[in-house]
Amino acid sequence: MSIESQEAGFSPEIREGNILHVSVESQPGLALATRVLKERKNELPSDLDQEALYHAALSFEHPEYSHAIREFLANDKQISDPAARESDVHALLERARQDLTPEEEKKIAGVAEGAEAWWQENLEDVRERTHAINSYFRVQPRQTLLISPSDKDFDSKRGSGFDLGETWVVRVPQDMRVLEHEYMHSFMNNIADRTTEQLTAEQKQKIIEQASPRLIIGEGYGEDPALLLTEELIRTYTDAKMRDRHLTPERFEMSVAALDQEEFERLANTTSTGEQLAELRIGSLKDFKKRAKEFYERFEQNKLEETLLTIYHKYDQARTRDASLSFEHFLGQTLPEHL
């Protein structure tokens, strides 16, 4: 999704207080959009994908979001009549709402109320985490971060972010790591876009070659270097750097060694891992344990994460000498050297 761009290399001062306002509010339109995808997907207009649907759903009970939503539909989705498409979505959401039984409405409201209460109790933690992120990367935040808890039917491990200009909406489960990830998209999308624009064709290809096959194929990110760079910059920071979840060969081999037969069979029956095991002609747990290193090097090794983790460590060292250094400026200088 696009974010209003700044000049390349611009290193803005951090706004006093970082995010001016953090709030929590369930978005009924998003919950209804999930039901539409499950029960009325065939009624969606052909030019409306899932991302466009969720964006249009945001203004279902919030007409003040319509201007930003229509701009997104027009500019990012090339929809010729965004107002009409927004209206189509709202009509579809209303039909989905009318399909709900009183018991379903009550249950959904209860889940939303509980999720909102959890985030309200943890707002100070949210403020501290986003403050630390803003300070580390030297970025100027939006005026408002709006947290919309995931509804019960939404994938509890995933989140999503929505650009409404000075408001950034995150739809997240009760998981601070997911919140950090989706919040970071509010500025990292543009940092990665601007950085990638400065690279040569060969360097962009190196990003694709270094990226994890699991990200490109397994998670469907494809071979867009800016998109891959965005996602890996965020994951490397939140997972590898801050939580020490960098998957080394030794850690992977230990995890495989700990598998039992039931766990192996479950992995073998999943689409992506099953196909990978078949490609290497690994048909037993014993063979998998013996060839774990080979499997890691073929499918699990994430060279782009290793590259970015090195850059983050160098950035840490550089910040001790220059506290005003912005990450975007440092990334633009150092990334080409590692590609």
Closest C-alpha to 170, from 140, 144, 148, 141: 148
Locate 29 and state its tokens.
């339109």
Residues contacting residue 237 through CB under 8 Å, at least 6 positions apart: 184, 312
pLDDT bucket at 94, cuts 50 / 70 / 90: very high
- Provide the 8-state DSSP code for 9: T
pLDDT at residue 1, as a whole number: 30
Locate 248 and state its tokens.
């080394």
Task: Give how far Cα 200 sits from Cα of 134, 197, 305, Å.
Answer: 29, 8, 20
Half-sphere exposure in the Cβ direction for 228 (13 Å, CA): 27
pLDDT bucket at 21, cuts 50 / 70 / 90: confident
CB 299 within 8 A of CB 214: yes
Task: Give how far Cα 145 sits from Cα of 219, 269, 284, Å.
Answer: 27, 40, 48
pLDDT at residue 14, as a whole number: 39
Give per-residue pLDDT as tens, 176-229: 999 999 999 999 999 999 999 999 999 999 999 999 888 888 788 889 999 999
* 160 sits in which H/E element: strand 160-164
Region 134-149: what's the mean pLDDT? 91
Instruction: Report the alpha-carbon distance of residue 242 to residue 338 in Å, rounded.
Output: 22
Locate 112 and state its tokens.
């939303």
Domain locations in the chain?
A: 21-189, 198-246+302-338, 249-300
Instruction: Report the alpha-carbon distance of residue 297 to residue 280 in Å, rounded.
Output: 12
Locate 61 and state its tokens.
């009970």
Region 99-119: what's the mean pLDDT? 88
CB 116 within 8 A of CB 25: yes
pLDDT higher than threshold 80 for residue 8: no
pLDDT higher than threshold 80 for residue 151: no
pLDDT higher than threshold 50 for residue 6: no
pLDDT at residue 270, as a whole number: 85
Residues contacting residue 58 through CB under 8 Å, at least 6 positions apart: 27, 29, 30, 65, 69, 162, 164, 169
Return mean pLDDT, the chain: 88
pLDDT bucket at 5, cuts 50 / 70 / 90: very low
pLDDT at residue 83, as a whole number: 96
Neighbours of 13 (CB within 10 A): 8
